[in-house]
Structure 1
Amino acid sequence: MSYTIKTLNKISPKGLSKFGEGYVLDDNAANPDAILVRSASLHEVEFPESLLSIARAGAGVNNIPIDKCAEKGIVVFNTPGANANAVKELAIAAMLISSRKIVDGINWANSLTENVAKEVEKGKAQFVGPEIEGKVLGVIGLGAIGVLISNAAVNLGMEVLGYDPYISIDAAWGLSRGVKKAPDLKTIFEQADYITLHMPYNEKTKGTLNAAAFAQMKDGVRIINLSRGELVVDEDVLAAIESGKVSTYVTDFPNEKLINKPGVITIPHLGASTPESEDNCAEMAAKQTKLYLETGNIKNSVNFPNCEMPMSGVQRITIAHRNVPNMVGQISTALADAKLNIEHMINNSRGDYAYTIIDLENKATDDSLARIKAIEGVLRVRVI
């Protein structure tokens, strides 16, 4: 079996090398089995019937029409944690430059033309700033990135408060004992000297840091946003800087409202811009795509549930379908009527969608597959 992979943007060769024999990499493929993408927008793209999956070499998937893909039975993957160390290191740097006025100091030093050493000694006092050791860091979002930042901050001597109502078991296990759990955002707002955001962007999290949130914070708080620009209301953070409530806002998402504003440090979206991160993301995207194409197993999907089962039996059938009552019963009945024995089966759901893997003791007929495809709510049926 040969699979065609279409790549959009420049994907790390180290990641693409994971496909190996049996895979054709074609940037211009009209009917690919899978797509690997970084930042290119797919919202206006018409997907061919051949397309089984899309893998985003990164964590954010705003450039992919998730629901549209789900309705076509196209599994969308991301690569959570692959760029975590890169973002962690930038977050630590952001805390330091928000405190020590390093950027302003460098720009000032570069403007000097005469008696530089003397002028430096005379003018350095204007760039004095506090150390981060002993200060309180509030980490909002304890996924792979938030955990690494929390642990690093503890090692740097900070007191760390972490907040995440949806923290996973794996993330909880990975947290340092020195990280204290905040019961709510209000606790973070009231106690933190620094606040760093590491949460997904959606309708519920949009504008998390707004005028009401800033009003609850300490005077002179420093804000770091390496997650999504829309998590912070630009007008409100600028007003908070002007009033002295916020000392510095470091954002990885510059826009016309924020550039060249006092108290704002804009970074040109460098969170995952390291060769290591690009390699890691591409490798993870390739491995997840390959796993899905060859076995039907799903790992790190954003529109279908994670669903993995060791292959057994004579033939594997996978069904992407809506999460509605009696779906598994209808599928089982169709197989039983065709005198097909199920050796192993797994079904998982995620929101409005579900996924079923069935290993059969004998091969399904075209008629039995057609009957499953005809069930209302079934989106795609694959035979592996």
Structure 2
Amino acid sequence: MPKVLISDDMSPQAAEIFRARGVDVDVKTNLSPAELKACIGDYDGLTVRSATKVTPEIIAAADRLRVIGRAGIGVDNVDVPAATARGIVVMNTPFGNSITTAEHAIAMMFALARQIPQANASTHAGKWEKSKFMGVELAGKTLGIIGCGNIGSIVADRAQGLKMRVIAHDPYLTPARAEALGVEKVDLDQLFRRADFISLHAPATDATRGIINAETIAKMRPGVRIINCARGALVNEADLKAGLDSGHVAGAALDVFAQEPAKQNILFGMPNVVVTPHLGASTVEAQEKVALQVAEQLADFLLKGSVVNALNMPSVSAEEMPRLRPYMGLARQLGSLAGQLIESAVRSVTIEYEGHAAALNVKPLTALVLEGLLAPLMVSVNMVNAPTLALARGIAVSEVKREQAGSLQTRVTLTVVTEVQSRTLRGTLVNGDQPRIVEIKGIPMDAQLHPAMLLVTNNDRPGLIGGLGTVLGNAGINIATFHLGRDRPGGNAIALLEVDEPPSEAVLDQIRALPNVVRVKSLRFAAGFC
């Protein structure tokens, strides 16, 4: 009988589900790291919320552990790479607290608009300062939503019920999905210029970290109010304080902070700031949902081997793995390359499997393509949830199989159609197991992908190679490999370089200034992709 440890406070029904399904379960909460390390070797599964820190030291002591389940969406408290290295599956429950978090954002917006916490404290103190707390109506105001995924779309729906105008910025929000939600899709600068209220619902990635800062605040309309129930890293707190002090920002409502638990913060005590201690998912209903979901998921995995909402494990059977493994690397590379090249909302994705690839179970490969495509702007994307996330964003996904692959024995072609362009990439396997990129944007290429690369699109004229070498050499950046391709003499050309370290933005600007350079893109690939 498999054995599971529940190490954080959660609904008692989670333990009941385990026992009913035939899984032995212990509930031991408030364990110190030393206590958890001492006992974790007795368990096949570990169920946590946010309090337990599953560190590399804990994982190293987990000799029997096969799965870690997080009752909630964020896995900041779980070292996923360390778990992966030990072959431990990490699962979360990404949809159980969406409604609760969205409702908290709406509640924070009301509290901010009507100064409810401040008025409550004043009235409790017997002051009756009626004229001091002059609020604003939400009806007729423009709400700007940054990140219109699962939670953001619920906030949009609720705001429309309050007769607010809703505009949204999300690179993966298609026009069709925006129309279905009844929101107007805008670029980020337009959102800043127009919004009376701004609500953040984006993950903390390299693209979104510090998205609220001095520069973006200056673009906002005077009197803007900002709500953050997503991730503290989205806001530069010092810049927000400066905006509040100047009066340009009328108020802020924050449920999350850069450092948590936030027992001290430069925003605490400001009269125009409403704060709560990360309560977005803290309702009875949400905690019941995530506890039940995580128990069901872990029980199914331990008893049946099925995988749901895994962050680090592909849905592939043991029988299929030997044949699929090389193609999985190729699929991830094609998706990741496409995801870094596109810069507008994706409308459709078509994957063509030709030759030997057409005889495979391609569903996991398609999921891996989507994982790579969506990963640059999203967190917790994996081959299990990537198709669902694509569907939720209105991305049409199609697969085509062809028995012949032209001059190659096997080939995978990825075509991504966005709002403004279409991008096609092709890849194959060399020697049966080595992924190669053989075409980028219609230009023949023969290249391996590496962790740090530079893609230069240019007019096919003499002098480019020398110019690139000079700029990178002056910056002390070594070129490891150099791949070239062109559609015709004097036409469009591509240079794909492997470099020992990513170029700085200043170096990229120097390359952009070279004659005949059309576009420059710094690319990063996880070591496991290459």
Query: Same fold, TM exceeding 0.5?
Result: yes
> How many Å apart are 1:295 and its aligned residue?
3.3
Q: Are 2:278 and 1:269 aligned? A: yes
Cα deviation, residue 345, structure 1: 8.7
Structure 1 residue 319: deviation in Å? 8.4
CA contact (8 A) 1:151 1:176 kept: no
Corresponding letter in the other structure for 1:208? I
Residues 195, 327 of structure 1: CA spacing in aligned structure 2 closer, same or farther, 3 A cutoff? closer
| Corresponding letter in the other structure for 1:60 | G
Secondary structure (helix, strand or coil) at the match of 1:18 reads helix
Correspondence for 2:241 among 216, 238, 242 = 238
Residues 301-348 of structure 1, C-alpha deviations (whole Å, 9 max, x = no match):
22334x37xxxxxxx637889x9636799xxxxxxxxxxxx9979644
1:179 to 155, 177, 183: 183
* Equivalent AA in structure 2 for residue 106 of structure 1: N
- Other structure's SS at 2:270 match: coil
Q: Which moved more, 1:211-220 or 1:157-166?
A: 157-166
Q: Which has the higher contact order (CA 8 A, sep 6+)?
A: 1
Q: Does structure 2 retain, via aligned residues, the 8 Å contact 1:12–1:282?
A: yes
Of 130, 133, 137 in structure 1, the residue corresponding to residue 139 of structure 2 is 133
SS of 2:318 mapped into structure 1: strand
- 1:130-209 map, 5 Å: 130-167=136-173, 172=177, 177-182=181-186, 184-209=187-212
**What SS does structure 2 have at the residue aligned with 1:82?**
coil
Q: How many pairs are equivalent?
A: 325
Matches within 5 A, 1:283-298: 283-298=292-307
Aligned-partner Cα distance in 2 for 1:303–1:204: 22
TM-score of the two chains, using structure 1 as the length reference: 0.76
Sequence identity of aligned pairs in percent?
34
Unaligned stretches of 5+ in structure 1?
113-118, 309-315, 330-341, 357-374, 377-384
2:224 aligns with: 221
**Residue range with higher mean Cα deviation, 36-45 or 153-162:** 36-45
The alpha-carbon distance between structure 1 residues 166 and 291, as it changes in their structure 2 partners (threshold 3 A), is farther
Q: How far does the alpha carbon of each residue in 1:82-123 deviate from its partner, in whole angstroms, 9 at most, with x for none?
A: 1112112211111111111111111111112xxxxxx63xx3
- Contact kept in structure 2, 1:69 and 1:76, CA below 8 Å: yes
The corresponding residue for 2:2 is: 3
Measured in 2, the distance between the counterparts of 1:299 and 1:228 equals: 25
Matches within 5 A, 1:206-355: 206-253=209-256, 254=262, 255-305=264-314, 307=315, 317=318, 325=326, 347-348=364-365, 349=368, 350=371
Which deviations, in whole Å up to 9, do the C-alpha atoms of 1:202-244 show, x marking residues without a partner?
Answer: 3332211111111111111111111111210110000001111
Per the alignment, do residues 343 and 259 of structure 1 end up closer, same or farther by CA in structure 2, a change over 3 Å counting? closer
What letter is aligned with 1:64? V
Deviations 1:257-312 (CA, angstroms, capped at 9, x unpaired) = 2211232111122111111111111111112222322333322222334x37xxxx
Shift of 1:141: 1.4
Q: Closer, same or farther in 2 for the Cα pair 1:343/1:51, shift >3 Å?
A: farther
Q: Does structure 2 conserve the Cα–Cα contact (< 8 Å) formed by 1:347 and 1:354?
A: no
Which runs of 5 or more residues in structure 2 are unaligned? 29-38, 257-261, 331-358, 376-380, 385-432, 435-530
State the distance in 2 between where 1:219 and 1:3 align: 59
Instruction: Sort the Cα spacing of 1:318 and 1:32 in 2 relative to 1 into closer, same or farther, 3 A.
Output: farther
- Secondary structure of 1:241's match? helix
User: Partner letter of residue 190 of structure 1?
Assistant: R
The CA distance in 1 between the partners of 2:42 and 2:320, in whole Å, is 21
1:127-166 deviation per Cα after TM superposition (whole angstroms, max 9, x unaligned)? 0111101111111112221111110111110111122223
1:37 corresponds to which of 48, 59, 75: 48
Partner secondary structure for residue 17 of structure 1: helix
Tell me which residue corresponds to 2:342: none
CA contact (8 A) 2:59 2:83 kept: no
Question: What value does the CA root-mean-square deviation take over the aligned residues?
Answer: 3.2
Which residue in 2 is equivalent to 1:104?
Answer: 118
Counterpart amino acid of residue 288 in structure 2: D
Alpha carbons 1:16, 1:286 under 8 Å: kept: yes
SS of 1:325 mapped into structure 2: helix
The structure-2 alpha-carbon separation of the partners of 1:354 and 1:317, relative to structure 1 and needing over 3 Å to count, comes to farther
**SS of corresponding position for 2:17:** coil
Structure 2 residue 28 is matched with structure 1 residue 25 = no
Q: Which residue of 2 aligns with 1:333?
A: none
Q: Give the partner amino acid of 2:22.
A: G
Equivalent runs, 1:56-75 vs 2, <5 Å:
56-75=70-89
Identify the match of residue 67 of structure 2 among 50, 53, 75: 53
Q: Distance in 2 between matches of 1:101 and 1:22?
A: 51
Assess if the C-alpha contact under 8 Å between 1:163 and 1:181 holds in 2: yes
Q: How far apart in 2 are the matches of 1:241 and 1:328?
A: 48
Q: Indicate if the aligned counterparts of 2:7 and 2:46 stay in contact, CA closer than 8 A.
A: yes
Distance apart, 1:187 and its partner CA: 1.9
